[in-house]
Amino acid sequence: MQSFTSPPLESQNVRFLLHHYNQVVAANMTWADSSDNPWRDIIIPMAMESPLVLLSILTFASKHISAMAQSALLEAEARKAADYSKLYGNQALKLLAQELRTLRSLDQAKTSTSLVVSHARRRYNSLLVAMLVLCNVETVKPG
């Protein structure tokens, strides 16, 4: 089974996409952006701990940039961002499937120590957040 790690946060591309998610995407996901935006305040910290959530928001940010570039008729930028969206999206979906299999086997093991339950809860939360973000990726269209 392939193991996934987070894309390196030192990468200029990853930092750029995180900034775009933080400043533009998260701001657009609420009725009115404010200092307590859950798309920013909850999801970004989770992304720092979960490769799945990080890949999901990188997918979202790059898809958003691609759509903006298509709207502005910037073909090269749109293609580049679309390529990143596909790359991160494919990695996110593979990791999502891996996480589902892992959590299913944990459930079947019926281990219930407080540490195991706490760890599983964090993983389930990351899984749900990633699914929510990836569902929203599908709503991004040019224009």
pLDDT of residue 130: 95
Q: Residue 43: is it exposed, middle or buried by C-beta count within 10 angstroms (0-12/13-18/19+)? A: buried
Q: Residue 33: is it exposed, middle or buried by C-beta count within 10 angstroms (0-12/13-18/19+)? A: middle
Cβ atoms 122, 42 nearer than 8 A: no
Lowest average pLDDT, out of 16-20, 118-122, 125-129, goes to 118-122
Percent of the chain predicted with pLDDT > 90: 65
> Could you read off the pLDDT of 75-121 as tens digits, one per residue?
999 999 999 999 999 999 999 999 988 888 776 666 666 666 677 78
Q: Residue 95: is it exposed, middle or buried by C-beta count within 10 angstroms (0-12/13-18/19+)? A: buried
Task: Please say if the pLDDT value at position 3 is more than 60.
Answer: no
What is the domain partition of the chain in residue ranges? 12-137
pLDDT of residue 34: 92
pLDDT of residue 1: 43
**Which structure tokens are listed for 123?**
């993983």
